[in-house]
Amino acid sequence: MLSLRSMEILRLGVKNLFVHPARSVLTMLGILFGVTAVIATLAVVEGISEKMQEEVLRMGATNIIVEAVKPSESESTTQASASGVALVYGLTYADAERIQSSIPGTNVVVPARRIPTTARHVTQRIRVETLGTVPWYNDTYGIQVAGGRWLTAMDMRKVANVCVLGAGVAKALFPREEPVGRNVWLGEYAYHVVGVLAARGKSSSTGDSNGADYDRAVYIPLTAASRRFGEVVTNQSAGNRSFEICELHEITVKVASAEEVRPAARIIAGLLERFHDPDKKDWAVRVPLERLEALERTKWLFVVLGVSIAAISLLVGGIGIMNIMLASVTERTREIGIRRAMGAKRRDIISQFLVETVVLSTVGGVVGVPVGVVLAIVIPRLLTKAATMLGVGGEAALSSLSRTVVTPGAVILALGTSVLVGVVSGVYPAYRAAQMDPIRALRHE
Amino acid sequence: MTLAQLVDLTKTYHMGAHVVVEALRGVNLTIEEGEYVAIMGASGSGKSTLLNLMGCLDRPTSGHYILGGQDVSNLSDAELSEVRGRQIGFIFQSFNLIPQLTALDNIEVPLFYQGIHRHERRRRSQELAERVGLGDRARHRPMELSGGEQQRVAIARALSNDPLILLADEPTGNLDSKTGQEILALFNDLSARGRTLIVVTHDPAIGSHTHKTVRVADGTIVSHDGN
C-alpha cells in the first residue's frame, strides 16, 4: 500500500517535470556536470595513484634500498681538485656484510655497483649504466628475462665477461639482430650477451636521480665489475676530469614480510651511522613501503581536493534546483491550495515537491556517470594529442595521466551525492509549499 | 438527521499587533441531511470565514463545529486534511482546476489523497464526468473548456469522494446567466438526489431554489428563513 502510494507520488512528480521539459533539463544539467566532474576527477586521481603504486611495488614492498649518495657538487669538486685525489664515498662491501650479519630474518642482500659507460657493438654505441650485481638481483626486483638467461653464481665465481642487456639497450645496439650470443664492448672489455630483459618502461619518479632506468641498463656480475672497472670511476665532463671511488652504489635488503621492513631499516640506518663519517652523509635508506604509504596519504589529499572542486559544481547545481523549485512553488501556489482543500496533508505536499527535486538530481546523476566515464576515457587521449600538437615533451606528466580508472566507489559516491543534493535542495522549497495557508493559497492569483 | 452543527462559533483575526478583526461572533447553525442551504450576505459580513470554517480549511477561535457526529473544532492540520478529503466537496467561484491536468485527472485529485487505486479512480471519474454532462470533453485540459464546462468538472471533482457536504462559494459568479442556470439546474438535481448542499452567494436567484436561506451580517446570523 505504501509502495503503491509512493509510486503514485513518483508518477505525479515525473508528470509535473514534463510540464516544463526545457526547464527541467536545464536544471538537471547542473547536477549532470557536477557528477561528471566527480567521476572524471576521481578517475584521473585513481589512475595516477595506481601507476605510482605499481612503480613502488616494482621496487618491492619488502625491500629496503640503501644507496650511496655522492656529496654535493661544490663540496666534492673543491675537495677533489684541491687535494688532487679521488673522492671516496658510498657504501662498501663491509657494509653489505655487516647488514647481512646483523639483521635477523634478512633473506637477501643485494649489492650493486653502477658505472656509467658507453656500450658498443660494431658501429652502434649508446650511453648505458653498467650495473655490477649478484645473481639474485632479478628475484629481488622481479625482473623478467625475455630471451636467454640471467646472471648465475657460476658467472660470479668465474668473474665471467657476460652481460644481460636492458630492452632499450638491446634495441639500440642490435636493431636487426638477435643480441644473445653476440659481444658488446663495455669500456675496454668485450662482454658476451647471455640474456635480454623484457621491456619495463622508465621509472616515472623522474625527480629521483637514483630512479633506475631498467631499459637503459646493462647487468654484469659484480665480481667482473670490480675487476674490470676497478674501484675508481673517472668522470669526464667539459674538459674536467674527476675521480671518484665508490665500492658499492646500492645495497638492496629484502626482508621476509612487510612488518619487518621498518625495524630492519632502523637497524641498517644505525649500522651505517656507526661506520660512516658522520660529517659526510654519503648514504641514504629508501623504503618503498613507506613511499607506498606516503602515496596513499597524498592520494587522499588529491581525492579530497578533486572532490571539493566537483562538490562546488554540485553545490551550484543544487542551488539551481532550489532556485527553480522556489519559483515553481510560488507559481503553483494555487495548485497547492487546491490540493490542500482536496485532502492533501502537508506531508503529501512535501513529498510531491521533494520527489521532483530528487528525480531531477538523480536523473542528472544517472546521465552524468556515463558522461564522466566517457570523459575519463577521453582525457588521456586528448592530453596526448594536445601535447604532441604543442610539441610539449612533458613525458612524465603525460605518462602519469595516461591512465584513468573509474572505480565502483567513485560511481556510488557520485550517484549518492546527486541524490543527496536533490533531497537537500528540495527540502526548503517543499517545506515552504507545505507551510502555505490553504485559504490564502486558494485566493492566490 | 443532523449533519453539521455550529455552536457559538467565533473567529478572530489578529492583523498586526493591535488590530483585531472579529470575523464571526457566535454563530449557531444546524444543517440537516439532504438540506439545500443558501448563505447570503454582503462582502465583509463573515460569510467567507463561515465557509472556510465549515470546509475545515480553518479552525474556530472558540465554539464547536460538529460534522458527521465528530467535533472537528480542535483537530490538527493533518486531521483536518483528512476530514476535508473524506467529507467535504468544494466548488469555487473561479473553478480552481489544476491547469496541467485533464478534466478526468482533476476529478481524481481528491481520490488520489484517499489512496484509491489508479484504475478505480479512472472508473469513478469517467462515471462522474458522464453524470455532470461533460461527455467527450473529459480528456481536455481546463484551458480548452468553457466556464460552464470547467464548473461541471469542479462539481464532478467535489462529488468524487462522496462527501457529506458540498460547499459552493459563488458557483455562478464567473458564469453568464444561461450557463449559471444550467449549473443551478445541476445543483437542484443533486439536491433532489439527497445531497446536502451549502451555497454561499449574493445572487438572490439561487435563494429561490434552496430549502432555506441564512443571512449573515457583521459576523452573526441575522435571519434564518425556510422557503
Q: Which residue of B has its CA nearest to A435?
A: B77
Distance from CA of B221 to the nearest CA of A (A): 22
Picking from A255, A281, A307, the residue at the C-terminal end of a domain is A281
Distance from CA of B59 to the nearest CA of A (A): 12
Residues belonging to chain A with any Cβ–Cβ distance to chain B shorter than 8 Å: 1, 4-5, 8, 12, 15-16, 19, 334-335, 337-348, 438-439, 442
Q: Which residue of B has its CA nearest to A3?
A: B115
Q: Which amino acid is at A327?
A: A
Backbone angles phi, psi at A218, to 5 degrees: -120, 125
For an interface test with B, which of A14, A16, A342 has the most B Cβ atoms less than 10 Å from its Cβ?
Answer: A342
Q: Are residues A37 and A180 in the same domain?
A: no
Q: Are residues A192 and A252 in the same domain?
A: yes
Nearest to B85 among A334, A343, A438 (CB): A343
Q: Reduce the DSSP state of residue A426 to 3 states and report it.
A: helix
Nearest to A346 among B78, B85, B97 (CB): B78
Q: Report the alpha-carbon distance of residue A296 to residue B174 in Å, rounded.
A: 73
C-alpha grid cell, residue B173: 459568479
Question: Quick one: average pLDDT of B110-129?
Answer: 93
Q: Are residues A136 and A237 in the same domain?
A: yes
Domain that holds residue A149: 70-281
C-alpha grid cell, residue A91: 657504501
Nearest to B81 among A19, A334, A345 (CB): A345
Determine the pLDDT at residue A140.
Answer: 77
Q: Are residues A336 and A272 in the same domain?
A: no
**In this structure, is residue A233 part of a structural domain?**
yes
**In this structure, is residue A401 part of a structural domain?**
yes
Q: Do A341 and B86 touch (CB under 8 A)?
A: no
Is residue A218 within 8 A of residue A165, CB to CB? The reply is yes
Q: Do B161 and A343 touch (CB under 8 A)?
A: yes
Q: Report the alpha-carbon distance of residue A372 to residue A33 in Å, rounded.
A: 8
Q: Are residues A322 and A372 in the same domain?
A: yes
Determine the pLDDT at residue A41.
Answer: 86
Q: Report the alpha-carbon distance of residue A344 to residue B114 in Å, rounded.
A: 9
DSSP codes of every residue in A248-289: BSEEEEEESSGGGHHHHHHHHHHHHHHHS-TTS--EEEE-HH
Chain B partners of A346 at a C-beta cutoff of 8 Å? 77-78, 81
Backbone angles phi, psi at B38, to 5 degrees: -105, 135
List alpha helices for B3-146, DSSP H. Answer: 47-54, 77-87, 103-112, 118-131
Mean pLDDT by 10 residues, chain A (445 residues): 72 87 92 90 84 76 80 54 62 78 70 82 85 82 83 86 88 86 86 86 42 75 82 62 75 80 83 78 81 81 83 88 94 95 94 93 94 88 75 56 82 91 94 94 88
Q: How many domains does chain A have?
A: 2
Determine the pLDDT at residue A385.
Answer: 77
Distance from CA of A430 to the nearest CA of B (A): 16
Selected residues 106-165 of chain B with any CB under 8 Å from a CB in chain A: 109-110, 112-115, 117-118, 157, 161
Q: Are residues A138 and A230 in the same domain?
A: yes
Using CA atoms of B120, B123, B128, B130 in order, give the dihedral in degrees to the nearest 10. 180
Going along chain B from its start, the domains and CATH numbers come out as 2-226 (3.40.50.300)
**In this structure, is residue A63 part of a structural domain?**
no
**In this structure, is residue A256 part of a structural domain?**
yes
Q: Do A439 and B98 touch (CB under 8 A)?
A: no
**In this structure, is residue A175 part of a structural domain?**
yes
Q: Are residues A238 and A195 in the same domain?
A: yes
Backbone angles phi, psi at A121, to 5 degrees: -145, 115
Chain B partners of A12 at a C-beta cutoff of 8 Å? 112
Instruction: Name, in order, each residue with C-beta under 8 angstroms of A246's C-beta and a sequence gap of 6 or more.
Output: A68, A70, A88, A89, A90, A91, A113, A231, A233
Q: Which residue of A has its CA nearest to B83?
A: A343
Residues A213-228 have pLDDT tens digits of: 677 888 988 888 888 8
- pLDDT score of B180 more than 60: yes
**In this structure, is residue A354 part of a structural domain?**
yes
Residue B77, CA atoms < 13 Å, CB-side half-sphere: 13
The pairing of strands B165-169 and A232-237 is unpaired
Kindly report which listed range (A50-64, B81-95, B153-167) carries the lowest average pLDDT score: A50-64
pTM here is 0.72
**In this structure, is residue A65 part of a structural domain?**
no
Whether residue B188 lies within 8 A of chain A, CB to CB, comes out as no
Alpha carbon distance, N-terminus to C-terminus of chain B: 19
Picking from A250, A281, A312, the residue at the C-terminal end of a domain is A281
What are the residues facing A366 on neighbouring strands?
none
What are the residues facing B221 on neighbouring strands?
B216
Q: Are residues A144 and A270 in the same domain?
A: yes
Q: Which helix (H) or strand (E) holds A190?
A: strand A189-197
Q: Are residues A203 and A150 in the same domain?
A: yes
**CA-based diameter of chain A, in Å?**
105
Distance from CA of B115 to the nearest CA of A (A): 7
Determine the pLDDT at residue A204.
Answer: 41
Q: Are residues A180 and A127 in the same domain?
A: yes
Q: Do A1 and B55 touch (CB under 8 A)?
A: no
Distance from CA of B215 to the nearest CA of A (A): 22
Q: Do B81 and A439 touch (CB under 8 A)?
A: no
Q: Report the alpha-carbon distance of residue A278 to residue A429 in Å, rounded.
A: 70
Nearest to B57 among A1, A347, A439 (CB): A439
Q: Do B85 and A344 touch (CB under 8 A)?
A: yes
Q: Report the alpha-carbon distance of residue B156 to residue B133 in Å, rounded.
A: 10
Q: Are residues A75 and A47 in the same domain?
A: no
Task: Say if the ipTM goes beyond 0.90.
Answer: yes
The pairing of strands A87-88 and B2-15 is unpaired
Alpha carbon distance, N-terminus to C-terminus of chain A: 36
Nearest to A342 among B99, B113, B117 (CB): B113
Which strands make up the sheet holding B212-217, listed edge to edge?
Answer: B88-91, B165-169, B196-201, B36-40, B212-217, B220-226
Q: Reduce the DSSP state of residue A280 to 3 states and report it.
A: coil
Question: Quick one: average pLDDT of B176-198?
Answer: 93
Closest CA to A107 of A264, A233, A212, A228: A264
| Cβ density class A124-152: b for 16+ within 10 Å, e for less | eebebbbbbbbbbbbebbebeeebbebbe
Residue A42 CA to its chain's centroid (Å):
13
Share of chain B above pLDDT 90, in %: 73
Q: Do B82 and A345 touch (CB under 8 A)?
A: yes
**In this structure, is residue A288 part of a structural domain?**
no
Q: Are residues A43 and A119 in the same domain?
A: no
Question: Quick one: average pLDDT of B141-158?
Answer: 94
Q: Do A439 and B52 touch (CB under 8 A)?
A: yes
Q: Report the alpha-carbon distance of residue A212 to residue A208 in Å, rounded.
A: 9
